Chains A and B, each alone.
Chain A
């Protein structure tokens, strides 16, 4: 079992964006030293309730200050950017990280951001699929053109929905790459290429209903989030396994990550006392935004289910033994092999996060690995 960290950049009332960046980077740098395997970051824009860190610059900064930990997006909302720039940005990041990039992707879920960037929200799933197709093709091919429904590359190419991607055909005389500058272009190559072959790991954020089938058909991992209840997680991995099998694949071929809210202290009462308020606030935000799913897919208010239910269905809080047991339970029930912990809750003290991380590393990581 691998272990990771997740940051959604949520802010508590009175918490300032500029104060949390250094804390978060320090936490991930510590995680790199004490044995965590990964750290993922969410994407946010223009929200007072979020620190809205630039994804590319956060990952870039960590490329310079970490050595072994994988870092990545959790998730990048693909429809919000120019697909060519996404391919370029994350290829550069994979090079900076020497192949340690995890490319978590999603269709995006916040309508206001789509309005600001001028992208129709209703088209987000189709745009997501097309952009991911473009980006993975760009990473794995030399000169090509792409005539998609939403994106054409180069821009004058005609849309061809049956075959949007076309590799440059052989031509005589063959022009070497350095003989091609300043000409009319029908085909372009996106460079530099990433380190990972065939391309960086792709994980699909699973808020959209189509996502499980889609990920299975491509052989990408899914990434269930903290807002999914335990029973919903089990169901999602069951559906995913079925879909993989139908596509001729096995669950063991892909990474099986899961994001949970995790806090470890020496005893359970202390753990609950230290994070109860922050966690309830966080889940109230999810509930207000309609992003909280219970076992049957219905939304359950945190105030209806109480803190005990929150801990039972979503968060993993307790002493080292209890946290270990709960993660093992997810492993048995859902088949996960990578637990990604959100340890920095909005408003939670930096020193408490570090203490929880250290305890997790010394008491739990080794046991999970064996």
Chain B
């Protein structure tokens, strides 16, 4: 099993305000630490126009990490490709792959917040078809000496990307997806690797991964191309009491903040009563998805994900409300006690 470390959003939310500049220095140190501890890759995540400064531009940050590390993979989780010009992303990605000596992993997603589409231009309604056409452009640009493309959204005539990526034919591509079985099937049918939705319990993830794998097999996708990843919020400590305390103090306030602020969880009158959120069915589902406890308990939980075919697991130890010392302590504990159990 591979262990990914992330997802850094570089946010300064009201429940835990801090300096953006300092965070951008520290993320490079965290990546170097993750490399020392034996994680396989380090991931950032992208959003736009959100008051807390959610990182809108992750590739230059990964470039800083690439220059300061030598082994660890660097991942986009996810690059919101449907909001971008795919040719520009191809240029940046190819250069970053060369710069990192072939360590780039491309997690791609369509994006979902309506504000982002309004600000950056693409039509929200066509995001899925735009994503898949963008992936086609991206693959052509990264692999062909020169390419042309005449699609619904993009037109290019005889373009040759310089440089080409170091990894052949191109860096690994993962598609990040939400909670929709339709999306899971689409990703499978296209033979792409599947990064299953956030904040779902094991049973719900399993339903999606079955849909994905069935669609892939029906489409004749080779077994080696059928790949599954998840990320789960993890609170790890020497005692269960301490792990629960981390969940209460660091993790829950951030979810309360984010899901109410984004407008996902509203009270009956459409208002934002944060005091009611814990009774909301969606919030209860989110809390069920957390993996909380001692290393032994966490190993048992991850084994259940392994049993349903998950080979790539990201413990999201850092969520943005957490204080730095606690993040680093959990990051070390997980690396020391959990990862070796899955590496043979």
State the A residues within 8 Å of B (CB).
17-18, 21, 25, 45-48, 50-54, 56-65, 81-82, 84-85, 88-89, 91-93, 95-96, 98-99, 115-118, 153-156, 177-183, 185, 188-193, 195
A58 partner residues in chain B, CB cutoff 8 A: 63, 95
Contact with A along B149-189 (1 / 0, CB 8 A): 00000011101111100100000000000000000000000
Residues of B near A56 (CB, < 8 A) are 57, 59-60, 63, 92
Q: For A17, list chain B residues within 8 Å (CB).
A: 162-163
Whether, in the assembled complex, B225 has its beta carbon less than 8 Å from a beta carbon of chain A, the answer is: no
Pick the contact of B60: A25, A52, A57, A115 (CB < 8 A): A57
A interface footprint on B62-75 (CB within 8 Å = 1, 0 otherwise): 11111110000000
Q: Is the CB of A64 within 8 A of B63?
A: yes
Asked whether, in the complex, the Cβ of B261 is within 8 Å of the Cβ of A93, the reply is no
Q: Are B114 and A18 in contact (CB under 8 A)?
A: no
Interface check B242, CB cutoff 8 A: no
**Known pairs A17-B163, A51-B163, A178-B14 / 20 extra A-B pairs, C-beta < 8 Å:** A18-B166, A45-B162, A52-B162, A57-B96, A60-B62, A61-B60, A61-B66, A64-B63, A65-B64, A65-B67, A84-B120, A98-B25, A99-B21, A115-B157, A154-B118, A155-B121, A181-B50, A182-B262, A188-B49, A189-B49
Closest to A87 in B: B56
Q: With A21-B99, A116-B156 in contact, is A51–B162 under 8 Å at CB?
A: yes
> Residues of B at under 8 Å CB distance from A?
10, 12-14, 20-21, 24-25, 28, 48-57, 59-68, 84-85, 87-88, 91-92, 94-96, 98-99, 113-115, 118-121, 155-157, 159-163, 166, 257, 261-264, 272
Known contacts A18-B163, A59-B60; A179 and B272 CB within 8 A of each other: yes
Complex alpha-carbon distance, A190 and B114, angstroms = 15
Would A96 and B53 count as touching, CB distance under 8 A? no
Which residues of A lie under 8 Å from residue B159 when comparing CB positions? 46, 116
Chain A residues contacting B114 (CB-CB under 8 Å) are 182, 185
Contact residues in B for A116 (Cβ distance below 8 Å): 87, 156-157, 159
> Are A95 and B24 CB-contacts (below 8 A) given A56-B60, A155-B121?
yes
On chain B, the residues within 8 Å of A88 by CB distance are 48, 56-57
| Other-chain contact of B92, A21, A57, A63, A153 (Cβ < 8 Å) | A57
Instruction: Please determine whether B50 and A191 come into contact, CB atoms closer than 8 angstroms.
Output: yes
Contacts A54-B95, A60-B64, A178-B257 given; indicate if A191 touches B53 (C-beta within 8 A): yes
- Please, could you name 22 A-B residue pairs with CB atoms under 8 Å apart, sorted by A? A17-B162, A51-B163, A52-B163, A54-B94, A56-B57, A56-B59, A57-B62, A59-B60, A61-B60, A63-B60, A63-B64, A93-B57, A96-B25, A98-B24, A98-B25, A154-B115, A178-B13, A178-B14, A182-B263, A183-B263, A190-B49, A193-B20
Contact present for B261 and A181 (CB under 8 Å):
yes
Neighbouring A residues of B264 by C-beta, 8 Å: 181-182
- CA A191 to CA B63, docked complex, whole Å: 20
Complex contact B64–A61 (CB within 8 A): yes
Q: Is the CB of B67 within 8 A of A96?
A: no
Q: How far is the CA of A53 from the CA of B92 in the complex (A)?
A: 8
Q: Are A153 and B60 in contact (CB under 8 A)?
A: no
Residues of B within 8 A of A50 (CB): 162
Measured in the bound complex, the distance between the Cα atoms of B155 and A97 in whole Å is 36
Please determine whether A60 and B118 come into contact, CB atoms closer than 8 angstroms: no
Given contacts A47-B162, A89-B57, A118-B155, contact A65 B68 (CB under 8 A): yes
A residues less than 8 Å from B60 (CB atoms)? 56-57, 59-61, 63, 89, 92-93, 96
A118 to B51: give the CA distance in the assembly, Å: 32
Contacts of B166 in A (CB 8 A): 18
Q: How far is the CA of A11 from the CA of B166 in the complex (A)?
A: 19
B21-A98 in contact (CB<8A)? yes
Which of A25, A60, A117, A153 sits near B61, CB closer than 8 Å? A60
Known: A47-B162, A48-B160, A82-B85. A92 touches B92 (CB 8 A): no
**Using Cβ atoms and an 8 Å threshold, which residues of chain A touch B261?**
178-181
Most buried by A among B94, B95, B263: B95
Give the docked Cα–Cα distance between A181 and B62 (Å). 28
**B21 and A92 within 8 A (CB):** no
**B residues near A99, Cβ cutoff 8 Å:** 21
In the assembled complex, the Cα of A247 lies from the Cα of B10 at a distance in Å of 41
Whether A189 lies near B51 (C-beta < 8 A) is: yes
A64 and B64 in contact, given A48-B162, A88-B57 (Cβ under 8 angstroms): yes
